A and B are shown apart, each in its own frame.
Chain A
Amino acid sequence: MSGFRPVLTEYIQEKDCHTLSFYRSIGGYTALEKVLKLDPIDVTLEVKNSNLRGRGGAGFPTGLKWGFLPKDTKKPKYLINNADESEPGTFKDRLLMNKAPHQMLEGMIIAAYAIGCHTSFIYIRGEFYKESKILEQVLSEAYENNILGENILGSDYHLDVVIHRGAGAYICGEETGLIESLEGKRGWPRIKPPFPAIEGYLQSPTIVNNVETLSCLPHIINRGAIWFNSIGPEKGPGPRLFCVSGRVNNPGVFEEPMGISLEDLIFDRAGGITDNKQLKAVFPGGSSSAILTADEALDVNMDFEELVEKKSMLGSAGVIVMDETVDMVQACLNIARFYAHESCGQCTPCREGTAWLVKMLTRLVAGGGKPSDIDMIFEITDNIGGLIDFSKGSFGKTICPFGEAVAWPVRSFVEKFRNEFIEYLPQERIVA
C-alpha cells in the first residue's frame, strides 16, 4: 500500500524525539487541549466511532471497553496503561516508550479524561529499566508544564500518573493479573465476572489499555474517527506496529496500515529471509498465536478477521519468521518451555498440562519418543486450551487466556509439521 505515512512512529528517527519540547514542536498536546474542552461522552464516542481495537493482543474494541464502566458510581475510576510488553516477538511498546513517550502520555490523559479518572498507572515491564527512567523524566516534564497535576492546561481537570515497575512475569500482562500485581499481590489472574470495568484495581472500576492503543488516541482526536477508519480494513482499522523478527534480513518494528499482507511485511519491509533460505513457518501475532505454514503465510493479510479464518490470530502483531533450517520439534519445545515457565500455576490444566508437554517433548527430542506421544500432544493441548473450534468460539478452560496461549501454538506445530515429530521417534528395531 503506497502513500501510507507512519502515524505513531513518524518522528522516531529525529533527535531528542522523546522530549516535551520536540513533541510540542510537532503539535503535541493539541489533541489534549481540544479534548479538555469537550464533554467526556463525546471523546468516548469519537473513540468508539474510530473502531480502534486494542493493540495488546486480544483486539477488543477500545470504545466498547470504556462503555462498560458503570455510569453512576461513587468509587474512583482508574486507568492503567499496560506497558508490560512480554509476548515473545513483540517489541513495539518499548519503541513507543523510548521514542514517543509524550504521545503515549497524551493518549493516557485523553483516555483518563474520557472515563473520568484522576489517578492513572503505567504498569511497565520490570526489564524496561531504561524506559522507566525515560517515563520518569517525561512525567516530571509534564508536571512542570501543567500537563499533569491540578488544572491541566488551564482546565479544571486533574490527573496524577504513577509508574509501577513489574517484577518480571509474563502473566502480569493479563489485565487482572496486572491489577493483582499492582495491588501488591501475587500476579494471579482473577476470575471473571466481575470484569475490571466493574471491579478492578482496589475493587474500583478500572480500564486497562495497551501503550500502542493509547498512543493512537491523540491522532484520532486530531484527525477524526473518519480518517482513522480510512486506514486498513473496516472491522479493525488504523495504523499498526508490526514487529518482525527471526530469520529475516532486516528485523524491526514497521508501522503499516492494518491489513498489510504478511508477504509484504516479510519480503519487503523486513528484507526477506536470511541467506536466501526458504520460508518455513511464521508466528503472525506473537508466540501465543498458532503458526502459519509458508503457504498460509504468503496468502494472508495482517488483519484480525483473516487471521482468525486461518485459525490463528493477529495478537500482538509480533511476526516471528522461521526458515527451512529451523527444527520445528525443538522450536515447539522452546515455546512449550517458555509457557510452562510462565504459567502462574493457579489453574489445574495450565499448571500441570504445560509441564507435561515439556516433559514429553523433552523426552521426544532426547530420542525417547513413542508413536502415541504425538496424538497425546493434541489431547493435552486440547485439555489445557479447550477444544479449539473457531466456528463456535469454544475454547478456554482456564481463568485467563494463558491456556489457549500455550495450546494453540504447540498444537499448530504438531498439526502442521507432524512429519518432523515422527522423524524424532526412534527407529523400530527388530529384536531377535
Chain B
Amino acid sequence: MPLLKIDNKEVEIENGTTVLQAAGANGIEIPHYCYHPALEIVGSCRMCLVQVEGVPKLQVSCNTIVTDVPKERKVDGKYDMVVHTQNDLVVQERKNILEFLLLNHPLDCPVCDQAGECYLQDYSFKFGSAHSRFDEEKRVRPNEYLGSQIVINHNRCILCSRCVRFTQEISGSSELFVESRGYSSKIAALEDKPLDNLLAGNVADICPVGALLSTDYIHKNRIWNLKKQPSVCQDCSVGCNIDVFYQKDDILRLTPRENHDVNGYFMCDIGRYGFHRFDNIDRVVQPMVRNNGSFDFMGWKEAIEITAELLKGSNGKTAGIVSSFHTNESNYLLGLTIDGLLGSLPPIKDEEITYRSGFRISSERSPNLKGMNDVSGEILEDISSAITSQSIRGIYILDDGVDRELDDSWKTLLDNMDFVIVQTYAMTELAKLAKIVLPGLAPFEREGTITNDQGRVQWLRPSIPIKGESKPDWEILMLVRNALQKDSEQFADLGEVIKRMSDQFPDYAGVSLFKIGAMGIAVNGKNT
C-alpha cells in the first residue's frame, strides 16, 4: 500500500486511489466542480489543482493517481507521493480559478435556489476575492427549458459538464451536449429530444451551482428553512435512499441519498415527484363508523371497541388483507391480530427499467412486496374463492391509499360481508365500502421497516407531522389486538414490534432500527 503524505499527514491508501479521494477519506476537502464520483473524470474545471512534490506543474487531484513507486524514487525515502493541498500556491490558484468562474456570474445568490448548498458560493466565500477585477460587460443569456421539468440558468453555469456526462453515462439517453465553442459554449438539449427521461431530475442535484433547476422546486423556499429527514423512496421495490426536505406540513422536495448497495447517487423522477400524489388527497383523520349509509365520527376508544366486537362476533371467520405499501410491522401485526385467512390487494405493476449505468426502476411499483410476503405468514393468492369456500363473514383491510379500480369480484365479495374494516389514510373506493374506517398514517408520516426486492431491510422514517387524530398503523393494530385478547403484548414503541417480528422470522433475526441505520441491512445477513 502506497504511503501518501498529504498536508503533513501520513496516510496509507489503496494502490490506484486518486489524491482527491485520498484527501476526502482523510478529512481534507479539496474543492472541485467537474469531478463527480459516478461520472468519468474530465479534469476541466481546474479547481482541484494541488501541488505534488517533484512535479513542476500543479496537478488536478481528481486525475492524480497514487501508486507504489520504486524505493529509489520515494520522497524522503518512504513516501510514494507528497501532496500539498493548502499551501499558498494552491490557495492562490483556487482564487484564480474562482475569479474566472465568477467573471460572468450574475452573483444573484439572494434569488438563487442553490444558495446555501452551492459550491460556488461556499468556495468563493472561503477562497475567493471580495472584489472583482473584471471591468467588462458580462455575458448575459436568457434561461431555457432543457426538458419539461428542468430549466437552465446559463448565466450561473460554470460548464463543468456533469449534466452532459450524466445523460451520456448514467441515463444513456444523451439529450444534453455542449453547444458552440469556447466562450460561447453553453449546455443545450437536442432539438428533437428534450431532457425528459425518468432520471432527468438528477441533473439538478448534481449541478454544483444554481444553473440547473427543477421547475418543481424553483423559487419555492430557501434551503435553510427546510428540515431534512433521511428516508426511503416508496414508489417502487428498489427503495432508493432519499432525503426528504420539508417545512412544517409541506414536503418541498426529495433528493437521492448516496447508498451503493441500493441506488448509488441517484433516484428516478417517479419517486422524486411522487410526493405530489398526496398533495390533494381526501384525508381520513378521525375514526368513522357507517350508520345508515353515512359516516359518523367517533373517538378512538369507541372505534377500537366496536372493531374488536365485530371481530369477536365473527368467531374467527374474518380475513385480513395486507398491503405491499405498508411497513413490515403493520403487515406483521395484522397477521397476528387476524388469526385467519390472509390475502393482499392486487399488486401495482409497471415496466421494469434498467439504465446503462445499472440504475433500476423495479416493475413492482409498491415498496414492500418482499417484506410483506416475508412477515405476514401465508398469503393466499386467490383470496376471494377461499373467502367464499370458508364462509368468511368479515374482512379487515390494511388499505394502501392507492385509488385502484376494483374489479367486480372484489365488489361482490365486499358487498356480501357482514362487516368491512378499513384502516387507511385516504377516502379510497375501499374505504367508502367500509363499516368502520380507522385513520392510519400517510406515507411521509409513517415509520417502520420495508424490504426491497433485493432483500434489503431499510428504515422508513417520518418527516411531516401526523394529521388530526390518526395513529401509527402498528399502534392501531396493537390496540385492536389488545382489545381482543386481554393478555396480548403492549408494544411501547416500534422497536418492540420489530423485536417480536425478528424473533419469529429467522431471516429477520437480529434486525433492529439501530442496525438498519441510514444504509439498511440485508435480510438474513446477505443481499439476495
Contacts and interface: CB of A to CB of B under 8 A. Distances in A.
Interface of A: 169, 186, 188, 191, 193, 340-349, 351-356, 359-360, 363, 370, 376, 379, 383, 386, 392-399
Given A349-B96, A349-B97, A342 B56 contact: no
B45 interface: yes
A386 B49 CA distance: 12
A397 B182 contact: no
A353 B181 CA distance: 14
Contacts of B161: 346
A344 B100 contact: no
25 contacts: A186-B177, A191-B42, A191-B43, A193-B63, A340-B183, A342-B182, A344-B181, A345-B180, A345-B181, A345-B183, A346-B161, A348-B159, A349-B46, A352-B104, A354-B182, A354-B183, A356-B100, A356-B136, A363-B135, A383-B99, A383-B100, A394-B57, A395-B57, A397-B93, A399-B43
A346 B42 contact: yes
B258 to A, nearest CB: 25
B44 A397 contact: no
A397 B178 contact: no
A150 to B, nearest CB: 38
B190 to A, nearest CB: 14
B257 to A, nearest CB: 30
B57 A352 contact: no
Contact of A345 (B45, B65, B182): B182
A360 B185 CA distance: 20
Nearest to B183: A355
B406 interface: no
B493 to A, nearest CB: 53
Contact of B49 (A169, A363, A394, A397): A397
B60 interface: yes
A348 B123 CA distance: 15
A391 to B, nearest CB: 10
Interface residues of B, number: 39
B185 to A, nearest CB: 4
Contacts of B45: 347-348
A394 B56 contact: yes
A351 B185 contact: yes
B101 interface: yes
A379 B133 CA distance: 11
Contacts of A356: 100, 103, 134, 136
Interface string B92-130: 010011011101100000000000000000000000000
B51 to A, nearest CB: 10
Contacts of B133: 376, 379
Chain B binding surface, main DSSP class = loop
B353 interface: no
Residue among A191, A342, A360, A379 facing the most chain B CB atoms (10 A cut-off): A191
B47 A348 contact: yes
A340 B181 CA distance: 10
Given A345-B159, A386-B57, A395-B57, A169 B100 contact: no
Contacts of A376: 133
A352 B136 contact: no
B178 A345 contact: yes
Nearest to B40: A191
A360 B60 CA distance: 29
B57 A351 contact: no
Nearest to A345: B185
B20 to A, nearest CB: 13
Contacts of B181: 169, 342-345
Contact of B57 (A349, A383, A397): A397
B315 interface: no
A169 B185 CA distance: 14
B69 to A, nearest CB: 15
Contact of B158 (A343, A348, A353): A348
A395 B181 CA distance: 24
Interface in B28-85: 41-47, 49, 56-58, 60, 63, 65
Contacts of A363: 135-136
A398 B57 contact: no
Please give me the 9 A-B residue pairs with the lowest Cβ-Cβ distance, nearest first.
A345-B185, A355-B183, A343-B182, A359-B136, A191-B43, A352-B100, A394-B56, A345-B182, A383-B96
